[in-house]
Amino acid sequence: RWTCAKSMAAFSWAVGNMFTKKVDADSPLSLVVWGNLVAFPFMVGVSLFLEGPVMILDSLQNMSWATIGAIVYIVYLSTHVGYGLWGFLIKSYPTSVVVPFTLLIPVVGFLSSALFLGEELPWWKLLASLFIMGGLVFNLLENQVKRLFGVIKD
């Protein structure tokens, strides 16, 4: 049902990573800030089109402290800190080493929701986490594993 949107999201993520790797910027954080400034007018336009000015004004007038906290978290921690650090890693290390760590995003998400929000953590999520962690360890230690089994000679 959402295959096209998911494919476009994956494609844009890949293009963004390649752009971050190749661009000659002073810092990855500056890319995030400029990207946000460029995206802002488009986001406002889409919001006006989908929600309308009345709903936007109502949302702004009835904003709670929880909403303000969520905005601060999303804008500063998630976007600026998260993507700034991600950009630093992409520029500093081979992409093949860094990108597999995106597999940890859902794991961190549901572990955080269980820890901070008291949400249920079913056994299958823990099992899936073990598979993801095992895959990451294998990816990072692939050459050592091959040496251990004699596939690669020193």
Query: What pLDDT does residue 49 have?
Result: 96
- Do 4 and 26 share a structural domain? yes
Domain match, 103 and 79 both:
no
Say whether both 40 and 101 belong to one domain. no
Expressed in percent and rounded to 5, the helix, strand and coil fractions of the chain are: 85, 0, 15
Question: What is the rounded CA–CA span in Å between residue 131 and residue 124?
Answer: 11
Tell whether 80 and 110 lie within a shared domain. no
Check whether residue 70 and residue 138 sit in a common domain.
no
Domain termination residue (choose one: 51, 69, 92): 92
Task: Kindly tell me if the per-residue pLDDT of 133 is higher than 70.
Answer: yes
Please give the share of the chain, as a percent, with pLDDT higher than 70.
97
- Residue-wise pLDDT for 42-72, tens only, equals 999 999 999 999 999 999 999 999 999 999 9
Which of 92, 113, 139 represents a domain boundary (last residue)? 92
Per-residue confidence band for 153, with pLDDT thresholds at 50, 70 and 90: low
Q: What pLDDT does 130 receive?
A: 95
Number of domains in the chain: 2
89-101 residue pLDDT tens? 888 888 888 888 8
Are residues 74 and 109 both part of a single domain?
Answer: no
List the domain range (segments joined by +) for residue 65.
1-92
Q: How far is CA 47 from CA 44, 54, 72, in A?
A: 5, 11, 19
Question: pLDDT tier at 11 (50, 70, 90 boundaries)?
Answer: very high
